[in-house]
Amino acid sequence: MTTTRTPRAWPRLLFAFAALFTLATAAAQVELRMTWYDDGSEGQVLRDLLDRFEAENPDVRVVIDTVPYASGILQSLPLQLASGEGPDLARVTDLGGLSEYFLDLRPHLSDPDYWEENFGPFLNWMRPAGSDAIPGFMTQLTVTGPFVNRTLFDQAGVEVPAGDTTWEEWAEVTRQVAEATGTPYAMVMDRTGHRLAGPAISYGARVFDENGDVAIDDEGMRRMMQLMVDWHADGTMNPDVWIGSQGTYAAGNEFFVNGQVVLYMSGSWQVGQFDQLIGDAFDWQVVPNPCGPAACTGMPGGAALVGIADTEHPAEVARVMEYLTSEEVLAEFYARTLFIPGHLGLAESGVDYVSDSQAAVDALNVFAAQVGRLDPIAYDLQAYTYNRFVFDAMRDRLTQVFVGELTLDEAIERMQQDVDAAIAEAQQ
């Protein structure tokens, strides 16, 4: 006897086939975990771009795990990488120090020459010594430099200095503005040796000896550090940022956003959030890096998105990276995040930044113009594998001088000891 299926049975069969197809697709889908931190709204932009990637590549799903920068990126991530329990991709700033954990994308890329041509100068920052690996790309090229509250200058009737202006001159003029306007502090600098390094190099710090080894003690380094000591002692700088209060340190950007400081030494990554947070509360601008007798330099730097060597899906990681670094997609990322491009082609052609704020666009242009004035020592220090040890020692020991625990001579001696010990341990 022949059985004839009724039309009513077909929907059930179609549903069953669809369910099987969905299960098969889910089983075949690769999930990649990306550890990420935000300076502003760039995580939202990245998620939007990755949603498009996933629509075009349904076999890959990218989960963004957003973590705090200090605890998540600087503290937890290195421990995860050392234990082999890291993510598939991560956004990092300690490029040299973590380079041993980075995936070499080169064997999985369709066009490695594209990466060399457009990211070449920055690949050396994240490569293990002697390697030609392609670990990732710069989510942004950053440049350190000062922000000033233009409204406070106008209220004080003081002109914003133009041309080559020394750090001492900036300290004097910002004190005048602070006093005239009742602003609590003249200047603030981020609590990090990276931010201090540019001014120190401007004052003649060489950082390295003739053999390429770290040598902190020289006249230029001492002169800039003495200025920092003096500014914290006389109230020019807000002590809460470097000295802290009750075991915690204040973020310098909060004082700037709230109009409590005249000059804030930070960097280009702040532009995006200042564009949002300050709005029309006051006028602000970026000024060229102050000078010393040797240079007028800040520090280059930035964050890179890298693949992690322990990933079980290197080919899929490379696919994600190729999508994000395609010129059209990356141009949109830089434009919407208000980041200086770490892509030579886009740096040359320019980026049409998406902002209604002329202050933000002007700030980015000033930072971009600073790239050509960065001192070679600044580039060498940024590329140095153990630069994190140098920056941390400068920060921690100088803070001890501020609070009277060490003299400057003692602090500089301890800085050198700290760096030497950290390097020796890392090389074991």
Are both 267 and 382 inside the same structural domain?
A: yes
The residue out of 326, 349, 372 marking a domain boundary is 349
Are both 326 and 393 inside the same structural domain?
A: no
Whether residue 22 is contained in a domain is answered as no
pLDDT tens-digit map of 141-175: 999 999 999 999 999 999 999 889 999 999 999 99
* Average pLDDT of the residues in 399-410: 97
Whether residue 4 is contained in a domain is answered as no
Are both 118 and 196 inside the same structural domain?
A: no
In the chain, the percentage of residues whose pLDDT exceeds 90 is 74
Whether residue 21 is contained in a domain is answered as no
Whether residue 2 is contained in a domain is answered as no
The residue out of 349, 375, 410 marking a domain boundary is 349
Q: CA distances (Å), 143 to each of 176, 184, 317, 342, 372, in order?
A: 27, 27, 28, 11, 11
Are both 188 and 93 inside the same structural domain?
A: no
Is 343:119 a contact under the CB 8 Å cutoff?
yes
Are both 217 and 82 inside the same structural domain?
A: no
Whether residue 383 is contained in a domain is answered as yes
What CATH code is carried by the domain that includes residue 242?
Answer: 3.40.190.10
Look at the chain and report how many structural domains it folds into.
2
Are both 175 and 273 inside the same structural domain?
A: yes
378, pLDDT greater than 50: yes
Whether residue 5 is contained in a domain is answered as no
The residue out of 349, 384, 414 marking a domain boundary is 349
Task: Reduce the DSSP state of residue 131 to 3 states and report it.
Answer: coil
Are both 319 and 197 inside the same structural domain?
A: no
Are both 269 and 378 inside the same structural domain?
A: yes
Are both 81 and 130 inside the same structural domain?
A: yes
* Average pLDDT of the residues in 353-378: 89
CA 307 to chain centre: 17
Are both 151 and 137 inside the same structural domain?
A: no
Ramachandran angles phi, psi of 206, nearest 5°: -100, -25
Whether residue 181 is contained in a domain is answered as yes
Whether residue 15 is contained in a domain is answered as no
What's the CA gap between 16 and 24, in Å, rounded?
A: 12
Residue 10's pLDDT is what?
53
Q: Which domain holds residue 48?
A: 31-141+301-349
Are both 287 and 368 inside the same structural domain?
A: yes
Tell me the pLDDT of the chain averaged across its residues. 92
Residue 18's pLDDT is what?
53
Residues 6+ apart with CB under 8 A from 90: 34, 35, 36, 73, 77, 305, 306, 308
Are both 276 and 388 inside the same structural domain?
A: yes
Is 38:270 a contact under the CB 8 Å cutoff?
no
